[in-house]
Each structure stands twice: as C-alpha cells, then as structure tokens.
A = this chain, B = another copy of it.
C-alpha cells in the first residue's frame, strides 16, 4: 500500500494550467499533486554565439526552486552565488528533452528560453517541469504562429516525463516525496507522444536492482506518459 493510497500505476492528480503568466509568450503551471512548477517560455530574437549564422533556432532551459518550496528551507542559490549540481543537471535535462522534439529549422534564428521554477515541491519536480515546459513551449510557438512569424509549430512530437520507483519492493508510478524518500530505486523517464525514449535516468538509491525490475519501471512509465500527453493536448486546446 502506497502512503498516498494510489494504485501502483496511478498518477497523482495532474493539472496543466496554460497561460498563467501575464508577460511570457507561453506559460504553464504544472501541478503533479502538491508539486507545483511554473514553466514559462520566453522568445528572444537571437541565438547563442555558437549558432549564429546557422539559420537555426535554439531551445534551452533553466530550473530553480524557491527556498521554502521544500519541507525545510533550502539556501537560495542566488545568495550562495552559484547553482548547485542538482540544479544544473535538471536544467540540462529539460533542455535536451525539449530539443529532442523541436525542429530547429522551423522558427528562424530565435531562442526560446524555458524557465521552470518550483513554487512548491512534493517529489517529481523535474518530471513536472518537463511535462509543463512542453505546454509552455507549444504555446510560445503558437504565439509566433498567430503573430505570423511562423506558419506551423515546429514540434515533431510531444514529450513528457514521469518518475517510477521501487516502493517496498513494488514498482510504482509517479513517486511523491514520502515515497521518493524511502524508495529503493528511482528512475526518471522522458518519453515522446509516440512512446519513444528521449532520456532515461535510473539510479539505485540504496542497493542495485535487476533488469526485470527496470523493465517493470519502464512499462509503468509508458502508461503514465501516455496519460500526461493527453493532458498536454487538453492544455494547449487541441485535446
């Protein structure tokens, strides 16, 4: 029995609230239960130096967590003077995930800067961030389409993410904090709308696990991501 009372293959209540920001070209508040991540997409008419002259666009991401998003207050990264390793790891992951479904030739030499800021954390912030960022990115591209800057939305597929883990020996979907903090294995899966693999990050928290366990986790993730993709379509208004 999970602390949350959920079935092993049940997501938390997921809400993807589009257009929550007054200023950003695209935005989404992604809520996976009590995990709330504000995702914004900002369009800029320039690309990083290494892409200048390529005629191609760039999508990148930054991630942050408010100091008291968590059970006990964490130090503010801006005050400490640097982003931690976990932060850098997550924001690199978000950027790679979105680029895997973006056609860089489809929106000119422009950048879309994704910002994922965790307003409240209860486990699975990186998966909520990826899932919500896709919505924000879609909406920013839609903004460009409505402004006649582009004709079609340069996304080749959807992308969403979910975590799975071993809780009391049982593979379960979408770990919340109570589950995550005692899970024996923790895996994050980034999959496409067609079910293909974009990223897998699996870690034995405590002791190594076997291949059959891993396969169960991946199967759970495939089911979870399919549901998340449905929510994404609803959020962008084509579901």
Report which A residues bind B (CB closer than 8 A). Answer: 21-24, 27, 34, 38, 40, 42, 44, 62, 64, 66-73, 76-79, 81-89, 91-92, 96, 100-101, 113, 115, 117, 119-120, 122, 157, 187, 191-192, 194-204, 207-211, 213-214, 218
Contacts and interface: CB of A to CB of B under 8 A. Distances in A.
22 contacts: A22-B122, A23-B71, A62-B79, A73-B113, A73-B115, A78-B83, A81-B81, A81-B82, A85-B92, A100-B204, A100-B207, A100-B208, A119-B119, A196-B208, A197-B202, A197-B209, A197-B210, A197-B213, A199-B203, A200-B202, A200-B214, A211-B218
Contacts of A92: 85-86, 89
B88 A85 contact: yes
Contact of A68 (B24, B73, B101, B202): B24
A211 B82 CA distance: 37
A42 B73 contact: yes
A209 B207 CA distance: 28
A109 B84 CA distance: 26
Contacts of A27: 68
Max chain B C-beta neighbours (<10 A), residue from A78, A81, A191, A194:
A78
A141 to B, nearest CB: 16
B200 A200 contact: yes
Contact of A76 (B64, B89, B119): B64
